[in-house]
Structure 1
Amino acid sequence: MVTGVVASDLLLVPAHPEHVDFWLALRAEAGARRYVDTEDDSREVLVKRILEAGTLEEPRAKGFRWFVRQGDAWVGTVSARDVSREHGRLQIGYMMAEAYHGRGLGSRAVGMMLERLFTLPFLHRVWLTTLSENLGSQGVARKLGFSLEGTMRGHSVLRGERKDQQFWGMSRSDWEARRRG
């Protein structure tokens, strides 16, 4: 039985090693490699990352990962990392399979994740980064109410090329106001 967070036909399933084949395939897609350096991580490295992912109930967890399922299909992954209880913040990430781009599933999955993350009493703020050319990911951030907080020119290197990186943020009060609104 698959258990997780459900929003109509979308399900967030806590990461387990049996998800590694889907994750490898997802990371190998041209759309994923266009914006993220995914070629260096082996199966073993990804299984280790899955095993290191904590649960929301673990008080010392430094990160969380869920795989996104729609019906019988795995469609993406969402994650939180660099969890700092002291500073009340964490960074989120997401990746959807190319076949599911443009359907709003990424926004829904990230929204479901935020719904869970903001149950953490220490959490004050979340942030994410996008490359300046990644319009789809920027659309997810905007749709969910993130604010563009700045662009760092030449901040990232992707396959040897310097890229501008955007930083987007959202506070708990932003999220709660959006939910009420």
Structure 2
Amino acid sequence: MGSSDLRLVPARPEHVDYWLVLRAEPGARRFVDTEDDSREGLLKRITEAGTWGEPRAKGFRWFVEHDGRLIGTVSARDLSKTHGRAQLGYMLSDAYHGRGLGTRAVGMMVEQLFTLPFLHRIWLTTLADNLASQAVARKLGFTLEGTMREHSVQLGQRCGLQFWGLLRPEWEARRHG
């Protein structure tokens, strides 16, 4: 999946050590709930991720590869055929922030997810002070749908949690617009 220098690769157990390093970076520690960060816990999340095309999959995880190096991860979880929705998550290594790679990788993930015929809506959350993550959502056409005030504690500070949504017709209009 992806252009020549950027691709998404399905998560495999051997990715776990990279994922541990990624989640220990300052950017991750600032914006991601990393309390369940045991190697065993992350390995379980990799092995529980569905295989693309598997009818009963509840979610997927891919790692982002740029010029042959792993630089981040994207995921979809709580995939619901009944409601036609999935929750998107993404994290990029600090060294690669600000170059548009996150937006491209997440865009590739959105494109892939909307190939699922039942999917109508993709949603994600960002912390209220995570401006970079909000920029990714905005650039891809997500709409800020609301903020749960002081919903999370991150590094000892209370912070708001923003909810963003993207509907299939909005995505298709952007692609063909």
Give 2:171's aligned residue: 175
Q: Which amino acid aligns with 1:67?
A: F
Structure 1 SS opposite 2:30: helix
Counterparts of 1:160 and 1:102, CA distance in 2: 26
Give the match's secondary structure for 1:7.
coil
Per the TM alignment, residue 11 of structure 1 is displaced from its structure 2 partner at its CA by: 0.8
Q: Is the 8 A contact 2:78 2:87 kept in 1?
A: yes
Paired positions, count = 177
Q: Which moved more, 1:159-168 or 1:129-138?
A: 159-168
Q: Which amino acid in the other structure matches residue 44 of structure 1? A: E
Letter matched to residue 148 of structure 2: M
After TM superposition, list the pairs within 5 Å mapping 1:63-102 onto structure 2: 63-102=59-98
* Contact 1:28/1:39, CA 8 A, preserved across alignment: no
Secondary structure class of the residue paired with 1:136 = helix
Partner of 2:25: 29
CA contact (8 A) 1:146 1:170 kept: yes
Decide whether the 8 Å contact of 1:132 with 1:166 is kept in 2.
yes
Q: Post-superposition shift, 1:113?
A: 0.4
Unaligned runs of 5+ residues in structure 1 are: none
Post-superposition offset of 1:39: 4.0
Q: Residue 161 of structure 1: CA displacement? A: 2.9
The ranges of structure 1 where at least 4 consecutive aligned residues each deviate by more than 3 angstroms after the TM superposition are none
Structure 1 vs Structure 2 CA RMSD: 1.0
3-state SS of 1:127 partner: strand
* C-alpha contact (below 8 Å) 2:125/2:161 kept by paired residues: yes
Q: After alignment, is 157-166 or 42-51 more displaced?
A: 157-166
Q: Distance in 1 between matches of 2:114 and 2:33?
A: 29
Q: Is the 8 A contact 1:54 1:64 kept in 2?
A: yes
Q: Residue 78 of structure 1 aligns to a residue in which SS? A: strand
**1:56 matched to 2:52:** yes
Letter in 2 for 1:42: S
Displacement, 1:6? 2.1
CA contact (8 A) 1:80 1:92 kept: yes
Structure 2: segments with no counterpart, 5+ residues: none
Bigger mean CA deviation after superposition, 84-93 or 150-159? 150-159
